[in-house]
Amino acid sequence: MARDSLRDGHGRLIEDLRLSVTDRCNLRCAYCMPAEGLPWLAREEVLSFEELARVVALLAQMGVVDVRLTGGEPLVRRDLPVLVAMLRRIGELRELSLTTNGLLLERDAPALVAAGVDRFNVSLDSVDRERYAELTRRDALPRVMCGLRRLAEVGCPGPIKVNAVALRGYTEREVLPLAEFARQGRFEVRFIEFMPLDADRAWQRERVLTGAEVRAAIDAVHPLVEEPREPSATARTFRFADGRGRIGFVNPVSEPFCGDCNRIRLTADGHLRTCLFSLNETDLRTPLRAGADDDELEQIVRAAVWRKELKHRVDEPGFIQPERTMSAIGG
């Protein structure tokens, strides 16, 4: 059943959903989680696969065509491929992608690809074992590398992207090794500016290593050529002038792309967020569990989406960091 498309009060068409399947994680990246972890949601607070699939099916009827599974670490959610297969049966969906830290990819890549994940983003902040452990607080680089290799062997339809958060004081030394990794041609590396969504609340503007700075450092050694940018794409992408690989930059702090934002997010406990930095969110779980029908849920979603923020105010005085941090939102 088709429903009217989903638009916000600023005229933007909403077509992309980031779906968090858990708030739990097996890493402790300094820019995201505290060393001791966070108080996890109780199991009954987290939406079941049936509840997730119902919300996605409804949103798909309203024109959401791209769904990205995230978390926390989505692969720690038991039987994730079962959810993927359930979502794949929703005919209106165009693309199903997944963001993971890669620790469990060696185990899960074949089942996830077979169930229908089209594209993978794997987070990797350093290709040096000690430096990786320093930032993520786990000595897990060899496992991630095995996972990446496994994923490449299995072969998924879309490109495999490798994401690194760019932190001043840490990432400068990682830039060229990661660029060399991209130049091997199998993975597209993307640098993401550090955002004020860390649980330690240590974010400062000065700690953002901007995409322009990273790009200049790479370009000085391996010249880059910019590629045309697709509307609502979050990344600016470049190819190496000598044809060896691609690289991208997601610059939410220095070059916000809110004007083209077509995304909404659903937290693992069923709260709809219309911006990463939203200070308000809309509870879908309570009506869902109270027996609301699809028309009632549609009205709640439409009202929330209508109020989608025009833009984030990260770089403005008076910015307020949301209570939920990245792993509890679903980045």
Taking the complex as a whole, the smallest distance from the CB of residue 239 to ligand SF4 amounts, in Å, to 27
Angle at 201 between CA 207 and CA 322, to 5 degrees: 110
Q: Which is nearer to ligand SF4, 12 or 324 (CB)?
A: 324
Question: How far is residue 257's CA from residue 255's CA, in Å, rounded to a whole number?
Answer: 6
CA 311, chain centre distance (Å) = 18
Record the tokens describing residue 133, joined without a space: 């452990």
| Strand partners of residue 69 | 19, 98
Residue 240 interacts, among ligand SAM, ligand SF4, none and using kind-specific CB cut-offs from 5 to 8 Å, with none
Cα distances (Å, whole numbers) of residue 230 to 152, 285, 286: 25, 34, 37
Q: Which of 22, 61, 97, 123 binds ligand SAM (CB under 6 A)?
A: 123
Question: In sequence order, which residues have a C-beta less than 8 Å from that of residue 134 and are 6 or more positions away?
Answer: none
Q: How many residues form the binding site for ligand SF4 (CB under 6 A)? A: 13
13 secondary structure, DSSP code: B
Question: How far is residue 89's CA from residue 92's CA, in Å, rounded to a whole number?
Answer: 9
101 belongs to the binding site for ligand SF4 (CB under 6 A): yes
Q: Contact region for ligand SAM (CB under 6 A) — 55-63, 69-77, 127-135, 265-273? A: 69-77
Q: Contact region for ligand SF4 (CB under 6 A) — 8-16, 24-32, 148-156, 190-198? A: 24-32
Which helix (H) or strand (E) segment holds residue 15: the answer is none
Only one residue has tokens 């691609």, namely 246
Taking the complex as a whole, the smallest distance from the CB of residue 3 to ligand SAM amounts, in Å, to 29
Q: Contact region for ligand SAM (CB under 6 A) — 6-14, 88-96, 194-202, 270-278? A: 194-202
Q: Which of 16, 198, 269, 298 binds ligand SAM (CB under 6 A)?
A: 198
27 belongs to the binding site for ligand SF4 (CB under 6 A): yes
Question: In sequence order, which residues have a C-beta less than 8 Å from that of residue 152 and are 6 or more positions away?
Answer: 160, 186, 187
Per CB under 6 A, which of residues 55..74 are in contact with ligand SF4?
Answer: 71-73
Per CB under 6 A, which of residues 266..295 are in contact with ligand SF4?
Answer: none
Site string for ligand SAM, 70-109 (x = CB under 6 A): xx-x-------------------------xxx--------
Question: How far is residue 111's CA from residue 126's CA, in Å, rounded to a whole number?
Answer: 27
Neighbours of 2 (CB within 10 A): 9
Strands 187-193 and 95-100: unpaired
323 secondary structure, DSSP code: S
22 belongs to the binding site for ligand SAM (CB under 6 A): no
Q: Contact region for ligand SAM (CB under 6 A) — 1-9, 140-148, 187-195, 281-289? A: 187-195
Taking the complex as a whole, the smallest distance from the CB of residue 218 to ligand SAM amounts, in Å, to 19
Residue 28 interacts, among ligand SAM, ligand SF4, none and using kind-specific CB cut-offs from 5 to 8 Å, with ligand SF4
Question: How far is residue 97's CA from residue 163's CA, in Å, rounded to a whole number?
Answer: 14
Site of interaction with ligand SF4 (CB under 6 A):
25, 27-29, 32-33, 71-73, 101, 123, 326-327
